[in-house]
């Protein structure tokens, strides 16, 4: 269990994290989602005792991380795949971390096997691709077989096979009852792995929701515009659809597909001006939620929400 | 604590830079006696008048500052290398007790630089003794053989340990390898020559308290004209430098965000 209470972190004149509070529960993959610069990495560093909070606190298993004697047995973390000395071999790198936690060489070999790096254990990290370094970072997180795991953008640099592997790994770690916190700036990635979502922007918690609730909330419907609005609304309702009148006078129809609606219009002699399927994908939902809190935005591209229509299938 | 020391030991043993730095420092064991041999051969062929003006044939005076710099680089890189590669965060996640981590590094640097400093210093002396033989002073700095050579050798070796630990402390404050190296070279080599430009008697006073000259003062049985410091004063100053550097390092290392 990870508890973050009213956590704030200020770097000179930037407030990176602003009174952030949340709890990460065991047995679930919790997605920590937000645009670049939203404060995700800072929060993770505060949880791991690397950065001291300006105010508030972050606890793991009700303790401050820095007070845990051999922390890798309780918490494993992958923060930055490049945070390793390139001159060491993969084995040596892991052994240095393991030794401080009284973890033996056999376990180092075992985690190298778990992440598929057994064959390059004796190779220097300098020669590793970003994907291999991510796997090495995951191996480091798994060293002490911890109950709590934090991964900061673990899919960065992984090839499709690697991405598939890490999704499965995250699911199975949570399935074993562990607490798993994964950060990402991509909703599409979270949609495939997370059970629970924390969305942050400008250091604040914008939304906390289960993945299914979030998907339901940004529902898919069909927009119908017709001069015979009330009459067609009754017909659609009789056919089993849920119909709502929108502000602009259009009908928001759920429960019936575009083709069935157009058939009903034809059979009942209703004139239809517009018939459009609307899919608020999770990506759209995310963009809508975070739009006000984007820290770095390319100039002149306008509102990203109105231009993005990528549909994400879960 | 033992686990943290063991982890720090594993870290330095698994880096090539450790072997390069310690290996080059060991070359001094050969370099100094070669120089010593050249000086004595030149002495043998000189006239009686010239012989009286020969410097001592112990070349460690010329070579040990190099060993000192190599071990200072080693001591500093133990911490700045981790900042440079980003390894520091990974390390501190595995071992979040910062004071213990710095203490572990201190133990490893102290042990390594003590053993290496003494091995090189005594190694040079032991090889040079038969080269110089029973030639008279001033070319023979050790008229009573090993008995009079032991204390200077120990003091010169100890200065290497002091240099390594100062560098570790400065490295913890500065966090950058380049910055640490420039600071250490300034402190160890540049400041003594700048001190020489000061008006008398400040040139001698300032030079005497700089790390480079503490070994001679520690080995002298009494204060001399060239070093007004007593052996006790020199010893306390050595400890003072180390405590100051590591104290500042510990303060910064435990307080600042990693």
pLDDT digits (tens, 9 = 90+) for A116-152: 999 999 999 999 999 999 999 999 999 999 999 999 9
Residues from A contacting B (CB-CB < 8 Å) are 45, 48-52, 65-66, 68-72, 75, 77, 79-80, 82-89, 92-93, 95-102, 140
Task: Return the pLDDT at A310.
Answer: 38
CA distance A39 to chain B (A): 15
Task: Return the pLDDT at A312.
Answer: 39
pLDDT-derived band at A313 (thresholds 50, 70, 90) equals very low
Express each pLDDT in A68-116 by its tens digit: 999 999 999 999 999 999 999 999 999 999 999 999 999 999 999 999 9
Report whether A42 contacts A93 (CB < 8 A): no
Would the CB atoms of A85 and B94 count as touching at under 8 Å?
no
Angle at B116 between CA B169 and CA B195, to 5 degrees: 55
Residue A36 pLDDT greater than 60, yes or no: yes
Burial of B106 from C-beta contacts in 10 A (0-12 / 13-18 / 19+): buried
- Predicted TM-score of the model (pTM): 0.84
- CA nearest A79: which of A45, A118, A127, A56? A45
Separation of alpha carbons B154 and B160, rounded Å: 10
Residue A311 pLDDT greater than 50, yes or no: no
Q: A283 or A293: which carries more pLDDT confidence? A: A283
Average pLDDT score over chain A: 88
Task: Return the pLDDT at B124.
Answer: 95
Separation of alpha carbons A311 and A220, rounded Å: 11
**Strands A274-279 and A242-245, bridge-based pairing:** unpaired
Separation of alpha carbons A251 and A278, rounded Å: 12
Express each pLDDT in B129-146 by its tens digit: 999 988 888 888 888 888
CA distance A306 to chain B (A): 40
Express each pLDDT in B6-15 by its tens digit: 999 999 999 9
Residue A244 pLDDT greater than 50, yes or no: yes
Separation of alpha carbons B177 and B131, rounded Å: 39
Average pLDDT over every residue of B198-221: 89
Task: Return the pLDDT at A300.
Answer: 53
pLDDT-derived band at B101 (thresholds 50, 70, 90) equals very high
Inter-axis angle of helices B146-174 and B177-185, nearest 10: 140
Express each pLDDT in A161-205 by its tens digit: 999 999 999 999 999 999 999 999 888 888 889 999 999 988 999
Nearest CB to A50 within list B87, B92, B255: B92
Task: Return the pLDDT at A302.
Answer: 44
Report whether B34 contacts A123 (CB < 8 A): no
Average pLDDT over every residue of B54-61: 87
Task: Return the pLDDT at A304.
Answer: 41
Six-digit token string for B147: 């008995």
Is B90 an interface residue toward A (CB < 8 Å)?
yes
Nearest CB to B96 within list A49, A87, A140: A49
Average pLDDT over every residue of A302-314: 39
Specify the range with the lowest mean pLDDT, choosing from A208-217, B16-25, B126-135, B205-214. A208-217
Q: A60 or B52: which carries more pLDDT confidence? A: A60
Would the CB atoms of A83 and B89 count as touching at under 8 Å?
yes
**Strands A55-60 and A148-152, bridge-based pairing:** unpaired
The DSSP symbol for B53 reads T
What is the complex's ipTM, to 2 decimals?
0.89
Residue with tokens 């080693």: B74
Task: Return the pLDDT at A150.
Answer: 97
Looking at chain A, the whole-number percentage of residues with pLDDT higher than 70 is 90
Would the CB atoms of B10 and A70 count as touching at under 8 Å?
no
Task: Return the pLDDT at A298.
Answer: 65
The DSSP symbol for B15 reads -
Separation of alpha carbons B155 and B209, rounded Å: 15
Task: Return the pLDDT at A170.
Answer: 95
Residue of B nearest to A89 (CA): B14
Q: What is the DSSP string of A196-231?
A: EEEEEETTEEEEEEEHHHHHHHS-EEEEEE-SSHHH
Would the CB atoms of B3 and A101 count as touching at under 8 Å?
yes
CA distance A100 to chain B (A): 5
Average pLDDT over every residue of B159-188: 97
Would the CB atoms of A83 and B87 count as touching at under 8 Å?
yes
Task: Return the pLDDT at B223.
Answer: 55
Q: Beta-strand (E) ranges in B22-81?
A: none
Residue A306 pLDDT greater than 60, yes or no: no
CA distance A167 to chain B (A): 23
Task: Return the pLDDT at A308.
Answer: 37
Would the CB atoms of A92 and B7 count as touching at under 8 Å?
no
pLDDT-derived band at A28 (thresholds 50, 70, 90) equals very high
Residue A309 pLDDT greater than 50, yes or no: no
Is B95 an interface residue toward A (CB < 8 Å)?
yes
CA distance B24 to chain A (A): 19
Specify the range with the lowest mean pLDDT, choosing from A47-51, A202-206, B141-145, B231-235. B141-145
Q: B66 or B258: which carries more pLDDT confidence? A: B66
Q: Residue B97: list chain A partners with CB under 8 A.
A: 66, 69
Nearest CB to A100 within list B14, B95, B258: B95
Would the CB atoms of A84 and B85 count as touching at under 8 Å?
yes
Task: Return the pLDDT at B136.
Answer: 86
Chosen from A17, A43, A99 to mutate, greatest number of chain B CBs within 10 A: A99
Task: Return the pLDDT at A307.
Answer: 36
């Amino acid at each position: 269990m990870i508890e973050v209470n009213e956590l704030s972190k200020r770097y000179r004149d930037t407030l990176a994290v602003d009174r952030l509070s949340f709890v990460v529960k065991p047995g679930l993959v919790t997605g920590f989602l937000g645009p670049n610069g939203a404060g995700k990495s800072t929060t993770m560093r505060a949880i791991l005792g690397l950065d001291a909070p300006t105010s508030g606190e972050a606890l793991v298993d009700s303790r401050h991380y820095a007070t845990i004697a051999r922390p890798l047995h309780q918490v494993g973390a992958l923060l930055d795949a490049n945070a390793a000395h390139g001159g060491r071999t993969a084995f040596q790198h892991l052994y240095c971390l393991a030794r401080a936690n009284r973890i033996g060489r056999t376990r180092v070999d075992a985690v190298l096997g778990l992440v598929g790096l057994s064959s390059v254990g004796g190779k220097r990290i300098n020669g590793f691709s970003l994907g291999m370094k991510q796997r090495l970072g995951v191996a480091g997180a798994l060293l002490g077989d911890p109950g709590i795991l934090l991964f900061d953008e673990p899919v960065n640099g992984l090839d499709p096979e690697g991405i598939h592997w890490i999704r499965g790994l995250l699911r199975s770690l949570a399935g074993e009852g562990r607490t798993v916190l994964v950060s990402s700036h991509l909703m599409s990635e979270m949609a495939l792995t997370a059970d629970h979502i924390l969305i942050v922007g400008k250091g604040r918690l914008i939304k906390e929701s289960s993945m299914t609730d979030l998907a339901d909330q940004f529902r898919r419907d069909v927009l119908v515009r017709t001069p015979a609005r009330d009459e067609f609304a009754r017909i659609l309702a009789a056919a089993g659809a849920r119909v709502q009148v929108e502000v602009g006078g259009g009908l928001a129809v759920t429960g019936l597909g575009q083709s069935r609606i157009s058939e009903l219009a034809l059979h009942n002699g209703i004139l239809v001006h517009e018939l459009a399927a609307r899919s608020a994908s999770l990506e759209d939902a995310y963009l809508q939620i975070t739009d006000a809190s984007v820290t770095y935005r390319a100039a002149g591209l306008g509102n990203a929400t109105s231009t993005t229509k990528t549909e994400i299938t879960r | 604590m033992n686990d943290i020391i063991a982890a720090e030991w594993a870290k330095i043993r698994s880096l090539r830079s450790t072997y390069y730095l310690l290996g080059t420092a060991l070359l001094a064991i050969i370099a100094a006696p070669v120089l010593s041999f050249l000086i004595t051969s030149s002495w043998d062929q000189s006239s009686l008048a010239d012989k009286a003006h020969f410097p001592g044939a112990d070349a460690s005076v010329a070579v040990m500052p190099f060993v000192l710099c190599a071990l200072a680089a080693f001591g500093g890189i133990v911490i700045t290398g981790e900042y440079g590669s980003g390894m520091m965060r990974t390390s501190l996640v595995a071992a979040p007790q910062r004071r213990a981590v710095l203490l572990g590094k201190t133990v490893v640097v102290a042990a390594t630089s003590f053993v290496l400093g003494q091995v090189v210093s005594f190694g040079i002396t032991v090889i040079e003794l038969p080269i110089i033989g029973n030639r008279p002073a001033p070319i023979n700095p050790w008229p009573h053989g090993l008995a009079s050579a032991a204390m200077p050798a120990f003091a010169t070796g100890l200065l290497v340990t002091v240099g390594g630990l100062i560098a570790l402390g400065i490295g913890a404050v500065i966090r950058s390898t380049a910055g640490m190296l420039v600071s250490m070279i300034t402190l160890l080599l540049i400041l003594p020559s700048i001190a020489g430009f000061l008006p008398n008697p400040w040139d001698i006073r300032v030079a005497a308290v700089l790390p480079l000259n503490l070994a001679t003062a520690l080995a002298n049985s009494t204060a001399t004209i060239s070093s007004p410091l007593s052996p006790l004063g020199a010893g306390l100053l050595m400890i003072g430098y180390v405590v100051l550097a590591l104290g500042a390092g510990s303060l910064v290392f435990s307080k600042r965000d990693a």
